[in-house]
Structure 1
């Protein structure tokens, strides 16, 4: 599917990426690599708009997690499906979740290892735990595509690999901005390297060699 076709991307009138063309095939797992400020977040934002315009169901994990700190981890997970229902049903779900809804959200928290923190307010959790709540919310939502902006940056390397494998199994197509090259190698089928607003490379993950990594980060 051609998500972007020769578009210029930026914010506030400032161009960040020019003439972007990006085709993502169903079943591809794309890792976006590059230093902070290279354009990864801008690209993800444009991809989200393009995929939504095609009517795709998208699970989004933004860089700041976009959680409600005063609510419990469980209720933040339940928010993954709020746009599936009307306002009254959603209010009832957040105040007193029905048993099946609570069970489904607990199951997704269990998948990311946060069952003991289900009823803890998000503001009391660590950075890594907050990221796992955001991932559980994405799992709870489900969809055709997951988009994530550094969704594993606060998680230790071993758990990052485990969570990446979980996302790989849960979503047919994925585009994640990642900071850890080892996680990208294990997760992705394709890697895109961004440097100072330029696509430095776009290639199958098995072609990501040391010289390309040095060119990207060196």
Structure 2
């Protein structure tokens, strides 16, 4: 693995005075594929937020809620992945008259998640699973080296989820993904970090684990 891409030392987070994470020591190296797992409320989403805050200029995000603008097209929602790296004039022109090159590039990204035909559809008219894939496509189009994703395939079946996770891993140097599906985590990441009550209770290579090893931390909470 490469140099540290993200490093948290004794990190903590709280909401309304209530501790959510405490004593988090976590180093993620360039090239790693890391699954964050644990019971609902264990702090996975908060940890995703801390990871992104460490290096926002290098982290593309897939939020737990797809966070799409429902009245805009799928094209425009994916285009937002690079909004901050385009000129104001280009962005304004794209609202009404997208460039052919942008259309072609975004159609190709959507094809990677099986949604090329939805390019011009309104995002709000899509199913939950389709919206989730648009959110992933936006992060792929963003193209930053680290992808932090919070339950990005929860609305997909396992085959679709596996295909989307493979595209996410192929499109970014480093992947950190919160997952609830043990099989997908074991098959598509090389390291599993388990949270419980806001602390890391397991951090091990995926090859050294199986479903039985994760059951006390994860399956009982399903």
State the TM bucket, normalised to the shorter chain.
Answer: over 0.9
The question of whether the paired residues in 1 share the 8 Å contact of 2:110 and 2:116 is answered with yes
RMSD: 1.2
Please identify runs of 4+ aligned residues in structure 1 that moved more than 4 A: none
- TM-score, length basis structure 2: 0.93
Q: 1:16, 1:115 → 2: CA distance?
A: 39
Deviation at 1:194, TM superposition (A): 1.1
**1: CA distance, partners of 2:62 / 2:211:** 29
Q: Secondary structure, in 3 states, of the residue corresponding to 2:23? A: strand
Report the count of equivalent residues: 215
Where do residues 1-218 of structure 1 align in structure 2 (5 Å cutoff)? Answer: 1=4, 2-52=6-56, 56-217=57-218, 218=220
SS in 2 for 1:77: helix
| 1: CA distance, partners of 2:75 / 2:109 | 9
User: 1:211 offset after TM fit, Å?
Assistant: 3.9
Deviation per residue, 1:115-136 (Å, 9 max, x gap): 1211110111000000110111
- Partners of 1:196 and 1:211 in 2: how far apart? 20
Q: 1:190 to 1:119 in 2, by over 3 A?
A: same
Separation in 2 of the partners of 1:211 and 1:162?
24
The unaligned stretches of length 5 or more in structure 1 are none
Q: CA deviation at 1:10?
A: 2.1
Q: Partner of 1:36: helix, strand, or coil?
A: coil
CA distance in 2, matches of 1:158, 1:11: 36
Q: 1:87 offset after TM fit, Å?
A: 2.2
3-state SS of the aligned residue for 1:43? helix
Mapped to 2, the partners of 1:77 and 1:191 lie a distance apart of: 29
SS at match of 2:155: coil
C-alpha change, 1:121 and 1:16, in structure 2 (3 Å) is same
Q: Can you list the C-alpha shifts for 1:24-60, whole angstroms capped at 9, x where unaligned?
A: 11100100011211100010101100122xxx42211
The two structures have a TM-score, normalised by structure 1, of: 0.94
Distance in 2 (alpha carbons) for counterparts of 1:137 and 1:210: 31
Unaligned ranges ≥5, structure 2 = none
> Any conservation in 2 of the 1:59–1:141 contact (CA below 8 Å)?
yes
CA distance in 2, matches of 1:90, 1:22: 37
